[in-house]
Amino acid sequence: MAELGEFLDINKTKGLPRIYKFNQFIRWFTLIFAALAIAYSIWLIFNKVDADSSKFAQFVPFAIMFLALNSFLKNLFSLNKIKLTKELISFRYLGKKSVNILWESLVKMELNEGKRKMIRLKYIVDEEEKSLEYTLSFPKPLEIANSIAEMAPKIEFDEFMAAVVITDKEKKDFISKNRK
């Protein structure tokens, strides 16, 4: 309960606009390394592999290319930045269009327990419900979830998110307990 204080009125204490981003060094290093591995695999296929090469030597460049391409695409199309402003939350990617969600359009936050644990945000755009997911491995997931809850007061939570996000009652209890 002592750590609860850092999440109270988080948008007032940390200020807006605020950006959370994946480590840019790791992201760009992985993209560059994967691109070089793909280029090296292609070079191997055209310059070193021939009909007389062993099956292993013929297979390895394709395996390297597959793994490097998988890593490249994951890093290119996964969430890169989350920007919180007074009007909206923006999810930014390197290889695809950013998604901007107005605070008043958010209707639900829930945990999606698939292969990877994800937070799903449901929102309304032009009277159509849409959803966006971001992984819990993104930096500072509790801080982001509490910021969203604070900025979107009409949002609903599933059972897990209701236990994670600090409610108004918990804020009041924490403040009254620490005044004594």
**Residues 166, 155: Cα–Cα separation, whole Å:** 13
* Same domain? 112 vs 133: yes
* Same domain? 40 vs 109: no
* Same domain? 7 vs 92: yes
User: Does 104 map to a domain?
Assistant: yes
* Same domain? 10 vs 43: no
Question: How many domains, the chain?
Answer: 2
pLDDT tens across 123-174, in order?
999 999 999 999 999 999 988 998 998 898 789 999 988 888 876 656 656 6
* Same domain? 122 vs 160: yes
Range of the domain at 63: 27-76
pLDDT tens across 48-97, in order?
999 899 999 999 999 999 999 999 999 999 999 999 999 999 999 999 99
User: Does 56 map to a domain?
Assistant: yes
User: Does 81 map to a domain?
Assistant: no
pLDDT tens across 15-24, in order?
889 999 999 9
Query: What is residue 30's predicted lDDT score, i.e. its pLDDT?
Result: 97
Q: Residues 113-124: what's their mean pLDDT?
A: 90
**Residues 54, 66: Cα–Cα separation, whole Å:** 19
* Same domain? 143 vs 94: yes
Query: What is residue 165's predicted lDDT score, i.e. its pLDDT?
Result: 84
Contact 170, 8 (CB under 8 A): no
CATH number at residue 117: 2.30.29
Cβ-count burial 116-145 (b if 16+ within 10 Å, e if not): eebbbbbbeeeeeeeebebeeebeebebbb
* Same domain? 91 vs 166: yes
* Same domain? 146 vs 112: yes
* Same domain? 9 vs 97: yes
Residues 6+ apart with CB under 8 A from 8: 166, 171, 174, 175
* Same domain? 100 vs 161: yes
